[in-house]
Every structure is written in structure tokens, then in C-alpha cells.
Structure 1
Amino acid sequence: MTRMATMRLDTFMTALGLENVDFLKVDAQGLDLEVVRSAGDRLNDIARVQLEATTAPYRQYEGAPGKSVIVDFMESKGFRLGREESQSHGQEANLTFLRS
């Protein structure tokens, strides 16, 4: 196992002095929603978010949430699903959310 230093997204945005983010793309091998959650209240400062979701009947990554969990969370934060692109022979999808 390789250990990597990590940083919450809200901390990263503040450290760089980012007031707003036009587009955030996340590909974190099943931890995409956790990365987005780490934005905390700074999620309000992001206009569009793209992340991956498993759409296969089984989970590719242990503990990874399904598409419906991701969509519910993003809608609760004021986003709507704008686009869904299937990939990996229908096992995953890139979900692009737009601020409502």
C-alpha cells in the first residue's frame, strides 16, 4: 500500500485563493463523492461538477456509492444532473452536474 498526503477540497480552494470554480472534474476510484463532500460549504462556489458513478449491478470499488446516492446528494446541494456519459462498456458513467 502506498500512502499519499491528501487535503480537503475546501482547504485546497482556500489555500489557492480560489473564489469560484467553473468546472470540477473528479476521478478518485470510487471516492469521488467523498472528494466532493470535502468541499463543505465551498461547494456553493462551484458551478459544474463531473464525477464517476458505478452503473453496473455490482460495485467496482468497495464502499463506492451508487448513482442514485450521488444524484440525491448533488440535488440536495443545489445541482441538477445535466449529462450522463456511459463508459467502461456500461459499467460506469461520467455524471456532469450543473448548479440549478
Structure 2
Amino acid sequence: MSQIVIEVGANKGTDTVKFLDAGDIVYAFEPTPELILELKNKFKQYSNYKPVNLAVDTVNGWSWFNIAGQHDWGCSSLHDFNPNIHAEWTERPDFKFTDRCQVQTIRLDDFMTLYGIQTVDYLWVDAQGNDFRVLQSLGQKIFLVKAGRCEAADTVNLYTNVDNTKESIGSWLENQGFEICVDCYNGKEADIHFLRR
């Protein structure tokens, strides 16, 4: 039986393809205009691929989206870079924005209601500083999520004026009934794996 996967921050589909090949139904959010076109073309043969050209946030509406159009475009964000980022993370020249555009934002609980999604087997969040807000946007529907993974700040806050630390996210997830495992893989960021107790 197909599982329901929600991927927030699909980027170039590196993780997406693993879920698609497993037969999962994948709702893949990617707000970057150039990348959503690339993704639609790349996965057009998959009937289980559901691209979503929206950003996820705690408020439905419109927001400025900063595009980092170099390397793999993976640093694009609703948030501004930490002004000291190049001093705190010296080996990453791609930490700069090349453009910005207006994007529509949606809460995940509202998205699930619109699409009649009753359960989420796996939630994969890589939302560049907005991961905690993505989780919070589930509201009470967080209890319909079985497992997932999200990115968090470890020793360096990549973006400014947003709380996306592993401590805040981890504590919140535990309070929502998840067991967590934190993987501090590069000394600056962390992946938080979570599983419903």
C-alpha cells in the first residue's frame, strides 16, 4: 500500500526520487520558480508525484522569498541570511541571494484539509530556516504525522530573526509525542529524525 509523504523543500528532487521509486505518493513543495519547472519535467513520468509550487509557513498569504541561485540553489529561504554567516561558516561562498520573488504561503494543516490527507506516513522538511514554522503550521494535525525528519541549526544560525535551533525543535517534537534522534552531521546543522511514540 502506498504511503503518503510530504516533502517541504524538494529542491532538485534528490530525496524525492527515493520516495517515488518506493511507490509512495509524494506531495513535494518547492517555491523556487526555476526549480519547480525542473522538478515537474524531471518527474513527469510518475503518477504518484504531486508538485506543489507554494512555500509552507504558519500564515496563509504571500511573502518575499530570497533566491540563492547558485550551486544547487539549496539556500533559498523566506528568511535573510545571518549577517555574520561568512565569518561563522567560511567555506560556503553560496550563502548569498541572487534574486527574490513573491511566493504564496500555506499552512500544512490547511493543505491537508484541502487535499483530504488523513495521515502523513513521513514528513521530510528542509525549509532553510523555516523548518520549525513548517512543523508548527500543522496545528493539531501534527498528531496525524507518523514519522519524519527536519533540518535545524546546531552551532550556527544560518538565517536571522527566526528560531530554528535543534533545542527548540527537539523539545517541541517531544512535547507532541515523538521520540527524536538528533544527527549533528557537519558541526553546524543537524537533522532531527522523529517517530510517533
- Structure 1-normalised TM-score? 0.89
Matching of residues 12-91 of structure 1 within 5 Å: 12-56=111-155, 58-62=156-160, 63-81=162-180, 83-87=181-185, 89-91=186-188
Q: Which amino acid aligns with 2:119?
A: N
Aligned residues: 97
CA distance in 1, matches of 2:188, 2:150: 14
The answer to which structure, 1 or 2, has the higher relative contact order (CA under 8 A, 6+ apart) is: 1
Q: CA deviation at 1:64?
A: 3.2
Structure showing greater Rg: 2
CA distance in 1, matches of 2:140, 2:164: 21
Matched with 1:98 is: 195
More helix by share: 1
**Structure 2 residue matching 1:29: 3-state secondary structure:** coil
Deviations 1:12-68 (A, max 9, x none): 111111110100001111110100100001111000121101111x31111233111
% identical aligned pairs: 35
**Structure 2 residue matching 1:20: 3-state secondary structure:** coil
**Structure 2 residue matching 1:94: 3-state secondary structure:** strand
Deviations 1:53-96 (A, max 9, x none): 1111x311112331111111011111110x33334x32111111
- Structure 2-normalised TM-score? 0.47
Q: Gaps (5+ residues) in structure 2?
A: 1-99
Q: Which amino acid aligns with 2:115?
A: L
Q: Which amino acid aligns with 2:168?
A: V
Instruction: Choose from 77, 102, 120 the match for 1:3.
Output: 102
Q: Which amino acid aligns with 2:184?
A: S
